[in-house]
Structure 1
Amino acid sequence: MKTLLANGPSNLYATEMEQFGRLAGHWATRITYYPTDGSPARHVSGEWEFGYALEGRAVLDVWRWPGREELLASGRAPDQECGLCVRIWDPRLQLWRFTFHGTAHGDLVHMYARQIDDEIVMERAAGGDLVRWTFTDITAAAFHWRNERSTDGGHTWRLDQEADARRREATQEPG
């Protein structure tokens, strides 16, 4: 897959590529799901891996829960997700085009993203709802991500899911 993966951003849009490119690496996640029926939140561990691709003109990531180590330790096939995200900078729109392919449940999500202050905001319309995914508190060692939904045109937002991510050390990589 040498053609797919890249060592860094293309010089053509290096500043824009760094918006998501600064997440390049392997992250351990703690994901919280908030059911719409008011039942207790559910917590799972996971992994999120980001990297440059397509001659440095895209940022790919793989979102996975539970993490590989937890899957191996359980010895069974639990409820899980493993999805691929493709992010490509569109210089005409000055936005990111984003596609998520969820392999476990057949999810397909298309969004647009842009940086707003210190956050990266991804948005889409889903039926009559608005959906917003936001990366916040991004540092070299950690970030926070949240998935929110509005059923009233963006006046109020409901938190559906969030993830806290911590960068994994190279020595922690599963074999």
Structure 2
Amino acid sequence: IVYLCGKGDSSIRYFEITSEAPFLHYLSMFSSKESQRGMGYMPKRGLEVNKCEIARFYKLHERKCEPIAMTVPRKSDLFQEDLYPPTAGPDPALTAEEWLAGRDAGPLLISLKDGYVPPKSRELCVNRGLSVSRRKATSETSSDVISRLEEELRKLQTVVQELQKRVDRLEDTVQAK
């Protein structure tokens, strides 16, 4: 489902996207009296699954923030698996080091059957130190790179000066004619 809302508008239109033509189907529209100045969207993990809530918006007015819940009318209070497939959880699939090394992975999925329960605590692990040999290698490599870049800059400045002299000569030739 795609929800369309705009600043200054007072409605939210929603459409279903399908894999067969026509690919976009109009579903319905939510209207209110006041126009919105902005809109926020609640992630799936924050929805009330026992009320069949499929989306929640926070409509920003001039002086207040109004929650707007989109629900699917169902008679049962039981968990509706067709409405809540496994969704992306809060934990990353890769560490920063793994991602920088070129690995790729899909999100770690969680079930919303019992509602979302956030983890009790998250530990932040920071690796502060580099070994002395690695620091030296890095600084030597950096100085080599800087030297190479400085040399390339000098060569480019020489080329620019020669081209400027050539342009000056061509301008003099054109003015003489």
Q: TM-score range by the shorter chain?
A: under 0.3
The structure having more radius of gyration, on CA atoms, is 2
Taking structure 2 as the reference length, the TM-score comes to 0.22
Q: Which of the pair is proportionally richer in strand?
A: 1
Q: Which of the pair is proportionally richer in helix?
A: 2
Taking structure 1 as the reference length, the TM-score comes to 0.22
> Larger relative CO (CA 8 A, sep 6+): 1 or 2?
1
